[in-house]
């Protein structure tokens, strides 16, 4: 069974640009969560999608958005990139979210120049 | 003050030693998670628990809900256990709050 797949693995952008990251969950998993990891702030929860609806949201500005498609694949978008957005972005999937173990992807490392 | 505090921040052990990593939290939770992150970033979920104790191989996780405290134990540590161990709590659903992590190095 394939694991959680995130693309691309590495990305370099400049300030002011926007970026879209993709996450394909494990087959059958309907919950996808996104996290940001930086050296200064550590891991932080961005949002969770379940059945194409955002179910939970962390404390991030509106520049961070996401969506989930009918096949449970999810995308995360960051607009007007700032230097501080440089981070490892991780997604995780689970069957239903909530009281379920999560399976993490290897992440997308985003660098802002 | 962080909602999730881990100790120690760094830990170096000799192969074969018994290791304990502690996690204290200050919010009500539905679940507590222990995660393992190897260099390169990949994260593996080791345990998810809301009460008592769980064991998987050489790893044991315990939680005391009344004291808001959890411990991760590694018995007979091995160099391949070297990684960052992260405690996270879920007040609700997948809104996880993370500790800063404990960097474990096991020397042969």
Looking at residue B80, the DSSP 8-state letter turns out to be: G
Chains A, B: CB contacts within 8 A come to: 62
Instruction: Name, in order, each residue with C-beta under 8 angstroms of B67's C-beta and a sequence gap of 6 or more.
Output: none
Residue B79 φ then ψ, to 5°:
-50, -30
CA of B75, closest CA in chain A: separation in Å? 23
Please classify residue A56 by burial: count the beta carbons closer than 10 Å to its beta carbon, then call 0-12 exposed, 13-18 middle and 19+ buried.
buried
Backbone φ and ψ of A54, nearest 5°: -75, 120
List the end-to-end C-alpha distance of chain A, in Å, as a whole number: 37
Residue from A79, A87, A92, A107 nearest A49 by CA: A92
Which residues lie closer than 8 Å to A112 by C-beta, 6 or more apart? A12, A13, A14, A15, A81, A82, A83, A84, A85, A86
Q: How much is the pLDDT for B27?
A: 87
**What letter does residue B52 receive in the DSSP assignment?**
E
Does residue B98 carry a pLDDT above 70? Answer: yes
pLDDT reported for residue A98:
66
Angle at B3 (CA atoms; ends B75, A52), nearest 5 degrees: 95
C-alpha distance from B87 to closest chain A C-alpha (Å): 11
- Judged by a CB distance cut-off of 8 A, whether residue A39 touches chain B is no
Cβ of A45 and B30 within 8 Å? no
Cβ proximity of B94 and A48 under 8 Å:
yes
CB contacts, 8 Å: A37 with chain B: 41
Q: Is the pLDDT of residue B104 over 70?
A: yes
- Measured in residues, chain B has a length of 108
Percent helix, strand and coil across chain A, each to the nearest 5: 5, 55, 45
Rounded to the nearest angstrom, the gap between the alpha carbon of residue B12 and the centroid of all alpha carbons in its chain is 15
Question: What are the structure tokens assigned to B59, written together?
Answer: 């790893």
Find the mean pLDDT for residues B66-89. Answer: 96
Q: What is the mean pLDDT of residues B78-107?
A: 91
The string of pLDDT tens digits covering residues B88-97 is 998 876 678 8
Å between A79 CA and nearest CA of chain B? 23
pLDDT digits (tens, 9 = 90+) for B22-57: 999 998 888 899 999 998 778 999 999 989 999 999
């Amino acid at each position: 069974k394939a694991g959680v797949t995130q693309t691309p693995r590495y990305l370099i952008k400049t300030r002011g640009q926007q970026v879209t990251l993709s996450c394909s969950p494990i087959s059958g998993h309907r919950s996808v969560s996104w996290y940001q990891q930086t050296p200064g702030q550590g891991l932080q929860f961005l949002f969770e999608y379940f059945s194409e609806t955002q179910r939970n949201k962390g404390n991030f500005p509106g520049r961070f958005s996401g969506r989930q498609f009918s096949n449970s694949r999810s995308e995360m978008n960051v607009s007007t990139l700032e230097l501080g957005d440089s981070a490892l972005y991780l997604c995780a999937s689970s069957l239903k979210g909530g009281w379920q173990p999560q399976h993490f992807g290897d992440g997308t490392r985003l660098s802002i120049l | 003050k962080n909602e999730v505090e881990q100790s120690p921040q760094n830990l170096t052990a000799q192969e074969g030693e018994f290791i304990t990593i502690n996690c204290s939290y200050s919010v009500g939770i539905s679940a507590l998670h222990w995660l393992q992150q190897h260099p390169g970033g990949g994260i593996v979920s080791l345990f998810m628990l809301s009460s008592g104790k769980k064991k998987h191989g050489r790893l044991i996780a315990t939680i005391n809900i009344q004291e808001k405290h959890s411990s991760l134990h590694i018995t007979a540590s091995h160099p391949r256990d070297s990684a960052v161990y992260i405690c996270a709590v879920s007040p609700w659903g997948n809104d996880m709050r993370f500790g800063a992590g404990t960097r474990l190095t096991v020397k042969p």
